Amino acid sequence: DQQVKQNSPSLSVQEGRISILNCDYTNSMFDYFLWYKKYPAEGPTFLISISSIKDKNEDGRFTVFLNKSAKHLSLHIVPSQPGDSAVYFCAARSGGSNYKLTFGKGTLLTVNP
Amino acid sequence: DTEVTQTPKHLVMGMTNKKSLKCEQHMGHRAMYWYKQKAKKPPELMFVYSYEKLSINESVPSRFSPECPNSSLLNLHLHALQPEDSALYLCASSQDTGNVYYGYTFGSGTRLTVV
């Protein structure tokens, strides 16, 4: 049972435009959500996180929005740059005493010059 | 130092071999993790160490044996692996298991091939 879902395997945008990456989850016990970027042959790189008690967190070009009622979060990248081309993973942390991160399958973002 | 260093980067081993993967961080993080990632799949948690004690084992087969000799080092001992164990093995660390605001820091991984 996939608790973190990224339903778009790929996304293509023009340089300078906004990239919106989406993620849905099913487990109401998730208390933290994170976004990671991954280039081939490298480990995931942390981008931004959001607590389940917030609805927005912003860091430079990256903004994450959380809609708890819809169990949906999104990552906005503005403006998109060719160097942003990578696989983006959404991850959710289980709360309580059993802290673990569950990852979605990822979305391949391609930013065209 | 803001990195997690994993060695070796690539490893080919036979099904009867014994080998070890190493992970090192000097950020003062007290939580360390092993993840396994197959091609076109998300990373899957294997083990969590918190303050050098094993806190989570995700029902990983005993042919994988983790070890945390000190707060900076994490090893994964491999023995009698199967070809389906071929994958990218990722090590990660975080300040502690409770604080993930700044995320986990991942290493570049060890690409393991079992022949």
What integer pLDDT is reported at residue A38 of this predicted model?
93
Mean pLDDT across B111-115 = 96
Residue A58 and residue A79: Cα distance in Å, rounded? Answer: 14
Nearest to B106 among A4, A43, A104 (CB): A43
Q: What share of chain B is helix, strand, coil (3-state, %, to 5)?
A: 5, 55, 40
Residue A97: predicted pLDDT: 61
Q: Kindly determine whether residue B108 and residue A51, on different chains, have CB atoms separated by under 8 Å.
A: no
Asked if the Cβ–Cβ distance from A46 to B104 is below 8 Å, we say: yes
Q: Distance (Å, rounded) from C-alpha B28 to C-alpha B82?
A: 35
Looking at every residue in chain B, the average pLDDT score rounds to: 93
CB contact under 8 A, A43 and B101: no
The overall average pLDDT reported for chain A is 93
pLDDT of residue A98: 63
Length of chain A, in residues: 113
The structure tokens listed for A75 are 């990552």
Tens digit of each residue's pLDDT (9 = 90 or more) over A27-47: 988 999 999 999 987 889 999
Q: What is the pLDDT of residue A5?
A: 95
What tens digit of pLDDT does each residue of B23-57 get? Answer: 999 999 999 999 999 988 899 999 999 999 999 89
Average pLDDT for B62-88? 96
Task: Work out whether the CA dihedral A107, A111, B2, B6 comes out positive or negative.
Answer: positive
CA distance A42 to chain B (A): 4
| CA dist., res. A75 & res. A66, Å (int) | 9
- CB spacing of B4 vs A101 below 8 angstroms: no
Where would I find the beta strands (DSSP E) of A3-106? 4-5, 10-14, 19-25, 30-38, 45-51, 56-59, 62-67, 72-77, 86-94, 101-103
**Residue B96 in this model has a pLDDT that exceeds 70:** yes
Rg of chain B in Å (alpha carbons): 13
Query: Which residues of chain A lie closer than 8 angstroms to B43, CB-CB?
Result: 44, 89, 103
How far B92 CA sits from the closest chain A CA (Å)?
9
- What number is the average pLDDT over the span A67-91? 97
- % of residues, chain B, pLDDT over 90: 85
What is residue A82's predicted lDDT score, i.e. its pLDDT?
A: 96
Q: Is the pLDDT of residue A99 over 80?
A: no
Cβ contacts below 8 Å, chain A against chain B, sum to: 61
Contacts of residue A36 in chain B, CB cutoff 8 Å? Answer: 103, 106
Do B44 and B36 touch, CB atoms closer than 8 A? yes
Q: Report whether pLDDT(A19) > 70.
A: yes
Please, which pLDDT band fits residue A96 given cuts at 50, 70 and 90? low
More confident residue, A98 or A106: A106
Distance of CA B107 to the CA centre of its chain: 9
Q: Cis omega before residue A79 (within 30°)?
A: yes
Q: Sign of the CA dihedral B69, B34, B32, B25?
A: positive
Cα separation, B83 vs A99, whole angstroms: 30
Cβ-nearest to B104 among A101, A102, A105? A101
Distance of CA B99 to the CA centre of its chain: 19
pLDDT computed for residue A12 by the predictor: 98
Q: What mean pLDDT comes out for the span A59-68?
A: 97
Say which of A89, A93, A99 has its CB closest to residue B42: A89
The pLDDT assigned to A42 comes to: 85
* pLDDT score, position B101: 83
Helix, strand or coil for residue B84?
A: helix
